[in-house]
């Protein structure tokens, strides 16, 4: 196998199929290569065990990873030259199974085209309210949702739309920078060089920006700096991993932010997921190869929003009850889009939050 030619072919095919990731996974007999398209894995190629291992070693070498260590989990990145004029940003992650066989996942980072959020959202009421939140001069807005749920796309497009009305100094702090945007000052987190989320956020606030985007609040210091930024008159948009919208409050309190401080600074919590749409041609979820809904029309966003007035009523004791009893919580909205015929019963059952 010509490793160089096959690698280029593989990345080109993934891009043409609008894949977010390439998974190179071992079995006892061989390696399977999958593309993740519209959130689902689709097996594309089979390689012998020998060729699968050679492919992983070659990609690790290109990304300056340790090719001699097959058992330790590793991460890396590279800019792959597809043609003389076209480059592709890639993020690599390896992990070994108990047999010592390495697997590799390649994330394909795209400079995504701008989209109209209204045309990619199941229900417009929450989106209209979210847009109003981004108009505020200061405060903390927290986004949550699974990996690859469209959070970055939503945040970037919300800011772009606000920028059309007025000039803003926007600083983003991300790991990695997923979408290139010339009108934003984008900072890439690099823990090894000391350029952490916390340090980058601290330095950014000294520049007195109008708006700061924090890719992910991971630790207590970053959480404190985000709250401090909101208290000192900045608008901070950040993402936090949580099970649902109310879980964002719990997570921030776990990171040492008091309930009182959250109520002072937090103006909105947005929880979102990307759900595959029902397609008449596919007779179910719109599949990756279907051209009926276009490249970016196979999954739409469903937003769950907790506004400031509701945040003021939340306490440690009633978070669980609120998640179940709010009129427009995620599960309620999920049932609504199912009843409208926008998604399948399978999708409804798969995405419901227990």
pLDDT band at 111 (very low <50, low <70, confident <90, very high): low
Of 77, 109, 141, which residue is a domain's last?
A: 109
Out of 54, 77, 109, a domain closes at 109
- Counted residue by residue, the chain has a size of 354
Residue 268 and residue 138 in one domain: yes
- Overall domain count for the chain: 2
Of 109, 132, 153, the last residue of a domain is 109
Using a pLDDT cut of 70, give the percent of the chain over it: 99
Residue 40 has pLDDT above 90, yes or no: no
105 CB-side CA count, 13 A: 13
Residue 125 shares a structural domain with residue 92? no
What's the CATH number where 38 sits?
Answer: 3.30.450.90
Return the closest-CA partner of residue 212 out of 236, 188, 186: 236
- The reply to whether 68 and 128 lie within a common domain is no
Q: Which residues contact 212 (CB under 8 A, 6 or more apart)?
A: 170, 171, 172, 173, 201, 204, 205, 229, 234, 235, 236, 237
| 122 and 91 both lie in a single domain | no
Q: Which pair of tokens denotes residue 264?
A: 């002072």
Same domain, 214 and 299: yes
User: Residue 320: pLDDT above 90?
Assistant: no
- pLDDT tens digits along 95-104: 999 999 999 9
Residue 52 and residue 136 in one domain? no
Each residue's pLDDT tens digit, 193-220: 778 888 999 999 999 999 999 999 999 9
The reply to whether 92 and 180 lie within a common domain is no
130 shares its domain with 229: yes
Q: Over the stretch 248-271, which tens digit does the pLDDT of each residue have?
A: 999 999 999 999 999 999 999 999
Provide the whole-model pTM: 0.87
Angle at 197 between CA 192 and CA 202, to 5 degrees: 115
Domain with 15, as residue range(s), is 3-109
Whether 95 and 16 map to the same domain: the answer is: yes
Together in a domain, 251 and 342:
yes
């Amino acid at each position: 196998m010509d490793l160089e030619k096959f690698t280029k072919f593989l990345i080109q095919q993934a891009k043409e199929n609008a894949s977010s990731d390439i998974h190179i996974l071992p079995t006892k007999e061989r390696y399977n290569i999958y593309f993740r398209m519209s959130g689902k894995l689709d097996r594309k190629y089979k390689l012998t065990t020998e060729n699968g291992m050679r492919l992983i070693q070659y990609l690790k070498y290109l990304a300056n990873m340790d090719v001699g260590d097959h058992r330790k989990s590793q991460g890396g990145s590279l800019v792959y030259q597809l043609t003389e004029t076209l480059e592709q940003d890639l993020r690599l992650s390896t992990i070994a199974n108990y047999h010592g066989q390495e697997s590799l996942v390649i994330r394909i980072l795209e400079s995504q085209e701008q989209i109209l959020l209204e045309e990619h959202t199941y229900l417009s009421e929450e989106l209209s309210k979210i847009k109003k939140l981004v108009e505020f001069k200061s405060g903390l807005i927290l986004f949550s949702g699974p990996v690859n749920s469209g959070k970055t796309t939503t945040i970037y497009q919300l800011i772009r739309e606000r920028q059309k009305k007025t000039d803003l100094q926007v600083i983003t702090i991300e790991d990695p920078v997923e979408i290139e945007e010339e009108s934003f000052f984008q900072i890439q987190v690099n823990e090894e060089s000391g350029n952490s989320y916390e340090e980058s956020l601290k330095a950014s606030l000294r520049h007195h920006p109008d708006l700061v985007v924090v890719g992910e609040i991971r630790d207590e210091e970053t959480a404190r700096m985000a709250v401090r930024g909101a208290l000192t008159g900045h608008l901070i948009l950040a993402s936090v991993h949580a099970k649902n919208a109310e879980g964002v409050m719990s997570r921030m309190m776990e990171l040492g932010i008091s309930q009182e401080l959250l109520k002072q600074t937090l103006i909105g919590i947005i929880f979102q997921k990307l759900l595959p749409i029902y397609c008449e041609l596919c007779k179910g979820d719109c599949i990756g190869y279907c051209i009926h809904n276009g490249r970016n029309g196979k999954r739409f966003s469903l937003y769950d929003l907790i506004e400031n007035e509701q945040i003021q009523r939340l306490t440690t004791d009633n978070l669980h009850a609120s998640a179940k009893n709010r009129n427009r919580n995620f599960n309620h909205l999920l049932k609504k889009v199912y009843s409208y015929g926008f998604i399948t019963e399978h999708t409804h059952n798969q995405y419901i939050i227990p």
